[in-house]
Chains A and B, each alone.
Chain A
Amino acid sequence: MHYLPNIVFVIALIIGIGYFAKNVKKLVRNIKLGHDVDVSDNTSQRWKNMAMIALGQTKMMHRPISGFLHIVVYVGFVIINIEVLEIIIDGIFGTHRIFSAIGKPYGVLIGAFEILALLVFASVIIFWIRRNVIKLKRFWKSEMTTWPKSDANIILYFEMVLMTLFLVMNATDVHFQDMNSGNVISQFIAPWFGSLSESTLHVIERTAWWLHILGILAFLNYLYFSKHLHILLAFPNTYYGSLKPQGQFNNLEAVTKEVRLMMDPNVDPFAVPAEGSETNVPAKFGASDVQDLNWVQLLNAYTCTECGRCTSECPANQTGKKLSPRKIMMDTRDRLEEVGKNIDLNKGIFKDDGKQLLDNYITREELWACTSCNACVEACPVSINPLSIIMDMRRYLVMEQSAAPAELNNMMNNIENNGAPWPYNQMDRLNWKNE
């Protein structure tokens, strides 16, 4: 029975990491439902972007208050996780504070963790106040329904509890307090437990230790079900983010082929396409569902943490239109999850459920309100591009359904007939010279 805690610990670890791994596999499968897209170019610039934007958090600081608080939580999260390594080793081998063997530096390390834990705790409280008391506008937009709001708060509570447990664990560790090295914060908490016997303290310390590691495992598994995946996906997402000027929209290759055929005088329009050639399968232009998007766009959707910087910068949203770039990303993710579950239920094959991203999630009114100004793309701290999804869905509406607003059809007819969006004759193009 002596090894019981070790065995329980290892089992908890295996279940916790195993279940997470299973969901990561599902996540990767869902992302791969998207079209392929070549992002193998310019690897050095991509690494640099990841280092600057994800690791260095440069774009977060464009909003200095939330940016600074976020960096505190981020640094705390990354560094305090060194402590998790010790907890895991202690848990498996039944040791206690194995790293303390290194002597003085251990105190410095734990001291740093304690300070960070306190700072994280304070930052998270401020985050909570911003959301729930000050009610910052971007956290209360219409797409922020019950679940997204609760999700955000659950994450904050998780972090508050984890940081509290960490500090309590240190405060009630009699041996650690006796060492009096590294207990920079917990020494002030220890007196709160001063009247308790050593054995009671030990029970509290053990309980806090167990709840801390179990809490971390639970949090790890919560990620997949929440917006909080960004702590992992921000890295690949910034790596695969566009390197082109924001104004450059992709040229659809399927269209290029058709246009070349139309413009080439040597092509026989009645020629039978070669057996098995691509032309047998008419390409679908644009996107009406998540499978029509590319995998980077789907990765974008899972990366979104619903901060709403995009929506608060969107000119359409600011002037009361229905469009919200954040909702575009949330809808894409929710639909993708729905498609993923459908595949799980139907033995690996998607069964038509009579739904799609267009209309069932994203309305036409939202799509047509976009001015393609790129404010949302610029605002995103982790290189998400909501505009590319809007454009792909407009392409579907126009090229597959001929469902553009009537005024836009007029504009396009004019371009087609006289080379200008207005009904002026191309032969009059130089008249201004003599006016």
Chain B
Amino acid sequence: MSELLNVPTMAEFMAQGKQPEVLFWVGCAGSFDDRAKKITKAFVKLLNKAKVEFAVLGTEESCTGDPAKRAGNEFLFQMQAVTNIEVLNAYEIKKIVTACPHCFNTIKNEYPGLGGNYEVMHHTQFLKALLDEGRLTIEGGQFKGKRITFHDPCYLGRANNVYEAPRNLIRKLEAELVEMKNCKRTGLCCGAGGAQMFKEAEKGNKEVNIERTEQALEVKPEIIAAGCPFCNTMMTDGVKSKDKEGDVAIMDIAELIANAQDL
């Protein structure tokens, strides 16, 4: 790696008696999944570039409990939630940003009932805010004029009505944003939600990610943009199974913006 990322932890901030502007909740995929780690780094590069004083929990972070809850294990979910909330509250966290819509949804909507009240933003919303405040500039670079379609993550779109932030960012790249026949409100799931990521699908005549990939390929994109590490994996697998990995790239919005600036 060419440059070192500046990734302070909450513990380090605490030791200096300081409070960061925002906590970056990395999430399990962002921490451990090889593909998702690239998204995490791209987002950190952007935070560094925009001089955002952020921190991560590092080894003090744990799964939000989302997959357990959607699988029906409310008990395990609440154990995870209460533990995480204790950590977050001990650090007096006010604002959280995450690149995972599942973490985003869980912390934003399901933690308040258990004593965790924070302002929670998806990274696309956060980047859009940085842009609006003039702290971050976005240029098209290599993506200028490219055909990009955006796959709405269920837990960002339908679940929380965030449709425009990621699209605004793509438009800023001066790319050609093309919409699939099912988008926004009627966007089709990638097949990973509800803990499906961790199990084989039930018997059917097709995988959900193949169906969604076919919808994406229909609009002949050069890039399928995603805003969720799980969607990213599912769409990447889908494109591979169609032997299109040479023609179509699957990239997170953060990666698009970071790569456009050669970060």
| Cβ-neighbour of B158 out of A246, A412, A429, A435 (below 8 A) | A246
Are B105 and A318 neighbours in the complex by a CB distance under 8 Å? no
Stretch of B78-86, B218-226, B248-256 contacting A (4+ beta carbons < 8 Å):
B78-86
Are A429 and B61 neighbours in the complex by a CB distance under 8 Å? yes
Are A245 and B109 neighbours in the complex by a CB distance under 8 Å? yes
Q: How far is the CB of B213 from chain A (nearest CB, A)?
A: 12
User: Which B residue sits closest to A429, measured CB to CB?
Assistant: B31
Are B59 and A410 neighbours in the complex by a CB distance under 8 Å? no
Q: How far is the CB of A83 from chain B (nearest CB, A)?
A: 38
| Cβ-neighbour of B195 out of A316, A408, A427 (below 8 A) | A408
In residues 205-259 of chain B, which contact A (Cβ within 8 Å)? 205-208, 210-212
Are A430 and B59 neighbours in the complex by a CB distance under 8 Å? yes
Contact (A318, B211) CB under 8 Å given A370-B194, A426-B62: yes
Are A397 and B72 neighbours in the complex by a CB distance under 8 Å? yes
Cβ proximity bits A74-92 to B, threshold 8 Å, 1 near / 0 not: 0000000000000000000
Are A251 and B110 neighbours in the complex by a CB distance under 8 Å? yes
Are B161 and A249 neighbours in the complex by a CB distance under 8 Å? no
User: Which A residue sits closest to B203, measured CB to CB?
Assistant: A321
Q: How many residues of B contact A (CB 8 A)?
A: 72
Are A430 and B31 neighbours in the complex by a CB distance under 8 Å? yes
For B160, list chain A residues within 8 Å (CB). 245-247
Contact (A435, B37) CB under 8 Å given A319-B204, A373-B154: yes
Q: Does A273 contact B (CB under 8 A)?
A: no
User: Which A residue sits closest to B80, measured CB to CB?
Assistant: A415
For B195, list chain A residues within 8 Å (CB). 372, 408, 411
Are B204 and A394 neighbours in the complex by a CB distance under 8 Å? no
Complexed CA–CA distance, A243 and B30 (Å):
31
Are A259 and B159 neighbours in the complex by a CB distance under 8 Å? no
For B70, list chain A residues within 8 Å (CB). 249, 372, 391, 394
Q: Does A232 contact B (CB under 8 A)?
A: no
Complexed CA–CA distance, A251 and B70 (Å):
11
Cβ proximity bits B110-136 to A, threshold 8 Å, 1 near / 0 not: 100110000000000000000000000
Q: Does A7 contact B (CB under 8 A)?
A: no
Complexed CA–CA distance, A411 and B72 (Å):
12
Q: Does B185 contact A (CB under 8 A)?
A: yes
Are B74 and A371 neighbours in the complex by a CB distance under 8 Å? no
In residues 2-58 of chain B, which contact A (Cβ within 8 Å)? 5, 7, 9, 26, 28, 30-33, 37, 40-41, 56, 58
Are A246 and B208 neighbours in the complex by a CB distance under 8 Å? no
Are B211 and A319 neighbours in the complex by a CB distance under 8 Å? yes
Are A399 and B78 neighbours in the complex by a CB distance under 8 Å? no
Are B56 and A321 neighbours in the complex by a CB distance under 8 Å? no
Q: Does B166 contact A (CB under 8 A)?
A: no
Complexed CA–CA distance, A369 and B108 (Å):
26
Are B59 and A427 neighbours in the complex by a CB distance under 8 Å? yes
Are A375 and B186 neighbours in the complex by a CB distance under 8 Å? yes
In residues 363-387 of chain A, which contact B (Cβ within 8 Å)? 365, 368-375, 377-379
In residues 390-435 of chain A, which contact B (Cβ within 8 Å)? 391, 393-399, 404-405, 407-408, 410-412, 415-416, 419-422, 424, 426-433, 435
Identify the 7 closest CB pairs spanning chains A and B, nearest first: A247-B159, A394-B72, A372-B194, A320-B205, A419-B62, A320-B204, A248-B109
Residues on B lying within 8 angstroms of A by beta carbon are 1, 5, 7, 9, 26, 28, 30-33, 37, 40-41, 56, 58-59, 61-63, 65, 67-76, 78-80, 82-83, 105, 108-110, 113-114, 154-155, 158-161, 185-186, 188-189, 191-208, 210-212
